[in-house]
């Protein structure tokens, strides 16, 4: 049972609405707070922490708050520090992976980790999978490393180790991946490394198998707060249960309508079935929105109401109705970009560029938008490009630091052996790693013990010089603070000499190196009180591993251009969502199942609810794909936005619709039948696929083959390129004459065999 909370002398009513107060003052036992977009969930979490400390006299170090991004965690921490006046705050406020990292640095030896383990980034993981594929005798053309890595990641998110994965492998691909998974884990262990999925899984093992550790960690999380609960996966739920237990004092805050990470393992059922996991839970809803106008809320609410996988809510605001949502029908992506940028330009007298954002479904859509922004000389910042810490020159320097901390990190060692070139070519490297594998020794042991007798005199000399370089820098690492160590590293390795000062690209790389030095200096200054010099290198490497691109986003540099996924958690007075076309949003890769379509609908909902004052939507009649134009059909989601809330405009260039006016009704543009779930005229819910005809698989004795000609109700005629699977769940890859390549599921495809 949930106990009642004592009377509070902290007057939360001055800062929170009644529903927020109830959530902040919740007593013992589990609580789920369904927090609609813009409803002030961060405020609830921060005031709950303050209330626990000031009114329940809870020690701050007995509270743990976890979320998904460093940016959200930093904002939360700053707010709590201001409320409590505690600097630094003893409460843990950080990401799941940050929490797991701290636990593993302290107790990782109990689950087989070295204390100096390295954290692999995605590129390192792909390379390791490539090595595992080669060891299994599998070609990368048949088994794409990123696809294999995705399958391994999905298994780890379900807490399936290699042996459990083998037992569940029920098809050819899975059985082959199982062997690669085993090899991959062996290579990880040999490199003293872990990937991000391992961090959560190993933390779960700690809580499950080590009773003493579990009790210590539970004391630090006696009061547990979990942000963005809809984004948790199976492993993270196991972590939460291990920390809190079924009847613990955990408060989960989230919104099922903003669950957009199913593709990376998030399980929406975690929030939809919260009471099944925590039977005594109290559930509260926050429906008052402080961000958007009512028209924006009603438009996005009308859209998301078509999802079945939701608890349901109606957001309201006292900000007034505001302007209608504008929808622009463009001729092509260039026309679309011009209209968006012109629209933003027309409001510059009243608004800053930093108050505007353009959101897209895929990174490929940004090209036309960037070109138009540049043509009109409008400053902008592209979020989600190459991350600073993923740039080649920065990865090289990070690899050097990792080798100094752990010379048995063979992934990093391989990267820097001949970078900059020092006479250790590919043949010498293959010989070195081959001999180490034959002896069952780490490569570093061969170098450290001078076991180089089989190498040529020239290769031996180069390898010894590299070893001496590393050993000398290791000594420096024991004596120097991090910034001085980096200066020594750059000087001793001559790494900057790689880049010519007269080459613009090389100058940019040298600037990045200087920025890296600045990052190290800033990190050292921030952590000086908490991390002694001998721990700074490890702490900095951990920091680099956990930084995300959105953490470095600077909103004051101009118009923000980003994907809908990157926009999660952000807000702007003016937002444009571009590319509302069938195959773009919803994306053609996500048109197979009802769950896929609902996720795409949630993605658009997230984009729409980023807008505070003005929301613009746009679509194209045709779009250039792979160098040639293809006709585009309107997104079926546009049918689901209440027509009375939309002001629709048509481009002067768009003559195919035959409309004489720039303004028209929604119905004049969207008369076709959608293949996706929507409400009928009488309000009944039509489920995905309900209106489709009999699939090809059931056609009268005729079978689909590669090369078959087919017709789709809206995509037109095309040819079947590939078949996967059998029966209703068979997948067809079809190249349509007008719409290009699409992947469809037989049960829902509604194809006619010609």
Instruction: Choose, from 250, 258, 419, 428, the residue flagged as catalytic.
Output: 258
Q: How confident is the model at residue 686 (pLDDT cuts 50, 70, 90)?
A: very low
The predicted structure's pLDDT at residue 141: 82
Catalytic pick from 41, 156, 205, 338?
41
Strands 622-625 and 628-631: antiparallel
The residue with greater pLDDT, 695 or 752, is 752
Cα separation, 22 vs 230, in Å, equals 21
**Sequence-separated contacts (24+) of 492-495 with Cβ below 8 Å:** 493/400, 493/420, 493/469, 494/420, 495/396, 495/397, 495/400, 495/419, 495/420
- Which of the four pLDDT bands, split at 50, 70 and 90, describes residue 695? very low
Give yes or no: 42 in active site: yes
Average pLDDT over residues 549-560: 66
Q: Residue 4, preceding bond cis, omega within 30 degrees?
A: no
Fold of 12-108+200-286: Rossmann fold (3.40.50)
Task: Tell me the C-alpha distance between 148 and 163, whole Å.
Answer: 16
Residue 441 has pLDDT above 90, yes or no: no
pTM as predicted? 0.77
- Residue among 471, 320, 487 nearest 404 (CA): 471
Report CA-CA distances (Å) from 729 to 299, 413, 694, 744: 34, 46, 13, 10
Q: Is residue 400 predicted with pLDDT exceeding 90?
A: yes
Q: In whole angstroms, what is the distance from residue 689 CA to residue 693 CA? A: 9
Q: What are the helix and strand counts (H, E) for the chain?
A: 26, 25
pLDDT at 154: 92
Grade residue 2 by pLDDT with cuts at 50, 70 and 90: very low
Residue 508 makes CB contacts below 8 A (sequence gap 6+) with none
Confidence band for 592, pLDDT divided at 50, 70 and 90: low
The catalytic residue among 227, 336, 355, 634 is: 227
Structure confidence at residue 539 (pLDDT): 86
Predicted local confidence at residue 174, as pLDDT = 87
The answer to whether 12-108+200-286 and 321-386+556-653 have equal CATH topology is yes
Q: Which of 111, 229, 147, 135 is nearest to 187 (CA)?
A: 135
Least confident of 294-303, 681-690, 719-728: 681-690
Burial class (CB in 10 A: 0-12, 13-18, 19+), 696: buried
Helix %, strand %, coil % of the chain (to 5): 50, 15, 35
Distance in angstroms (rounded) separating the CA atoms of residues 549 and 574: 22
The catalytic position among 43, 285, 610, 742 is 610
Q: Tell me if residue 552 falls in helix, strand or coil.
A: helix
The pLDDT confidence band at residue 554, using thresholds 50, 70 and 90, is: low
* Rg for the chain, CA atoms, rounded: 28
Give the model confidence (pLDDT) of 473-501 as tens digits. Answer: 999 998 888 989 999 999 999 998 888 76
Catalytic residue status for 582: no
Calpha distance 485→482 (Å, rounded)? 5
Which of residues 326 and 624 earns the better pLDDT score? 326
Q: Is residue 41 annotated as a catalytic residue, yes or no? A: yes
Could you tell me which residues come within 8 angstroms of residue 185 by beta carbon, excluding any fewer than 6 positions away?
161, 162
Q: pLDDT exceeding 90 applies to what percent of the chain?
A: 54
Determine the pLDDT at residue 664.
37
Asked if the model's pLDDT at residue 356 lies above 80, the reply is yes
Q: Are the CB atoms for 460 and 452 separated by under 8 Å?
A: yes
Angle (nearest 5°) at CA 712 between 709 and 713: 145
pLDDT confidence band for 581 (50 / 70 / 90): very high
Q: What are phi and psi of 642, to 5 degrees?
A: -50, 125
Least Cα distance to 715 among 583, 595, 597 occurs for 583
- The fraction of the chain above a pLDDT of 70, given in percent, is 86
Domain regions of the chain by residue span? 12-108+200-286, 121-190, 321-386+556-653, 388-547, 696-753
Question: Who has greater pLDDT, 328 or 624?
Answer: 328
Q: Is 228 a catalytic residue?
A: yes
User: Does position 116 have pLDDT exceeding 80, yes or no?
Assistant: yes
Q: Give, rounded to a whole angstrom, the gap between the first and last alpha carbons of the chain.
A: 64
How far, rounded to the nearest angstrom, does the alpha carbon of residue 538 sit from its chain's CA centroid? 25
Shortest CA distance to 315 belongs to which of 331, 328, 299?
Answer: 299
pLDDT in tens, 20-40: 999 999 999 999 999 999 999
Residue 173 has pLDDT above 90, yes or no: no
The 10s digit of each residue's pLDDT in 51-68 is: 999 999 999 999 999 998
Active-site residue identified among 62, 195, 197, 228: 228
Return the CATH number of the domain spanning residue range 696-753.
Answer: 2.40.10.170
What distances in angstroms separate CA 659 from CA 621, 639, 652, 667, one per listed residue? 14, 19, 10, 12
Respond yes or no: is residue 465 known to be catalytic.
Answer: no
Catalytic residue at 593? no
Q: Tell me: domain 388-547, CATH 3.40.50.920, correct?
A: no
- Top pLDDT among 408 and 20 is at 20
Q: What integer pLDDT is reported at residue 663 of this predicted model?
A: 36
**Phi and psi at residue 605, to the nearest 5°:** -60, -45
If residue 154 lies in a helix (H) or strand (E), which one and from where to where?
A: helix 145-157
Return the beta strands (E) in 632-691 as ranges.
Answer: 646-650, 663-664, 678-679, 685-686
State mean pLDDT over 540-544: 86
Lowest model confidence (mean pLDDT) among 255-269, 580-594, 687-701: 687-701
Reported as a single tens digit per residue, the pLDDT across 734-751 is: 877 666 667 777 776 778
What pLDDT is recorded for position 387?
61
Most distant CA atoms of the chain, gap in Å: 85
Mapped onto helix, strand or coil, the DSSP state of residue 25 is coil
Cα separation, 735 vs 217, in Å, equals 55
CATH number of 321-386+556-653: 3.40.50.300
Q: Answer yes or no: CATH 1.10.4160.10 is held by domain 121-190.
A: no
What is the predicted pLDDT for the residue at 284?
A: 96
pLDDT surpasses 60 at 323: yes
């Amino acid at each position: 049972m949930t106990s009642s909370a004592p009377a509070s002398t902290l007057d939360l009513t001055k800062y929170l609405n009644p529903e927020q107060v109830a959530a902040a003052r919740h007593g013992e036992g589990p609580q789920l707070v369904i927090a609609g977009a813009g409803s002030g969930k961060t405020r609830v979490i921060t005031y709950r922490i303050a209330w626990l400390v000031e009114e329940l006299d809870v020690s701050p170090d007995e509270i743990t708050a976890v979320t998904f991004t460093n940016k959200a965690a930093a904002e939360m921490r700053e707010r709590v520090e201001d409320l409590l006046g505690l600097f630094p705050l003893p409460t843990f406020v950080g990401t799941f992976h940050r929490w797991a990292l701290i636990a593993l640095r302290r107790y990782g030896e109990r689950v087989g980790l070295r204390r100096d383990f390295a954290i692999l980034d995605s590129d390192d993981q792909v390379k390791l999978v490539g090595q595992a594929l080669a060891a299994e005798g599998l070609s990368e053309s048949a088994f794409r490393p990123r696809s294999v890595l995705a399958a391994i990641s999905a298994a780890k998110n379900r807490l399936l180790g290699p042996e459990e994965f083998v037992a569940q492998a029920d098809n050819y691909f899975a059985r082959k991946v199982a062997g690669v998974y085993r090899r991959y884990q062996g290579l990880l262990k040999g490199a003293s490394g872990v990937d991000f999925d391992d961090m959560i899984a190993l933390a779960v093992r700690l809580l499950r198998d080590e009773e003493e550790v579990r009790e210590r960690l539970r004391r630090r999380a006696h009061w547990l707060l979990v942000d963005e609960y809809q984004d948790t996966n199976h492993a993270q739920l196991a972590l939460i249960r291990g920390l809190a237990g079924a009847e613990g004092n955990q408060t989960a805050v989230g919104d099922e309508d903003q669950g957009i990470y199913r593709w990376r393992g998030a399980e929406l059922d975690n929030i939809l079935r919260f009471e099944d996991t925590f039977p005594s839970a109290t559930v509260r809803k926050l429906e008052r929105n402080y961000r958007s106008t009512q028209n924006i809320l009603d438009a996005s609410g009308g859209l998301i109401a078509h999802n079945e996988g939701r608890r349901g809510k109606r957001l309201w605001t006292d900000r007034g109705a505001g302007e209608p949502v504008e929808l622009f029908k463009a001729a092509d992506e260039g026309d679309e970009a011009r209209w968006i940028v012109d629209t933003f330009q027309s409001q510059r007298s009243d608004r800053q560029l930093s108050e505007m954002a353009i959101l897209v479904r895929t990174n490929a859509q940004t090209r036309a938008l960037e070109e138009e922004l540049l043509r009109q000389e409008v400053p902008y910042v592209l979020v989600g490009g190459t991350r600073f810490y993923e740039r080649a020159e920065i990865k090289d320097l990070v690899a050097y630091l990792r080798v100094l901390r752990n010379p048995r990190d063979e992934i990093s060692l391989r990267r820097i052996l001949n970078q900059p070139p020092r006479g250790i070519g590919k043949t010498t490297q293959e010989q070195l790693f081959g001999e180490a594998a034959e002896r069952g020794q780490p490569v570093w042991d061969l170098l450290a013990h001078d076991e180089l007798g089989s190498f040529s005199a020239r290769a031996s000399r180069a390898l010894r010089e590299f070893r001496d370089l590393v050993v000398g820098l290791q000594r420096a690492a024991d004596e120097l603070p991090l910034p001085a160590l980096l200066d020594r590293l750059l000087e001793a390795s001559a790494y900057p000499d790689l880049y010519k000062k007269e080459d613009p690209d090389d100058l940019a790389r040298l600037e990045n190196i200087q920025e890296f030095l600045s990052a190290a200096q800033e990190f050292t200054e921030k952590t000086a009180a908490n991390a002694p010099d001998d721990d700074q290198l490890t702490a900095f490497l951990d920091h680099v591993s956990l930084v995300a691109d959105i953490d470095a986003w600077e909103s004051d540099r101009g118009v923000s251009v980003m994907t809908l996924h990157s926009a999660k958690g952000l807000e702007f007075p003016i937002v444009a969502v571009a590319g509302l076309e069938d195959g773009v949003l919803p994306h053609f890769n996500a048109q197979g199942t009802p769950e896929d379509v609902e996720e795409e609908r949630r993605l658009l909902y997230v984009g729409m609810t980023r807008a505070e004052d003005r929301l613009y939507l746009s679509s194209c009649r045709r779009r250039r794909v792979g160098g040639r134009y293809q006709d585009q059909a309107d997104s079926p989601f546009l049918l689901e936005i209440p027509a009375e809330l939309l002001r629709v405009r048509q481009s002067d260039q768009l003559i195919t619709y035959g409309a004489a006016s720039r303004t028209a009704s929604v119905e004049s543009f969207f008369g076709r039948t959608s293949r996706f779930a929507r409400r009928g005229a009488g309000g009944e819910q039509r489920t995905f696929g309900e209106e489709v005809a009999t699939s090809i698989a059931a056609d009268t004795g005729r079978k689909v083959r590669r090369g078959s000609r087919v017709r789709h109700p809206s995509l037109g005629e095309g040819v079947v390129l590939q078949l996967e699977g059998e029966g209703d769940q068979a997948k067809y890859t079809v190249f349509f004459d007008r719409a290009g390549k699409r992947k469809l599921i037989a049960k829902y495809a509604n194809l006619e065999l010609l």
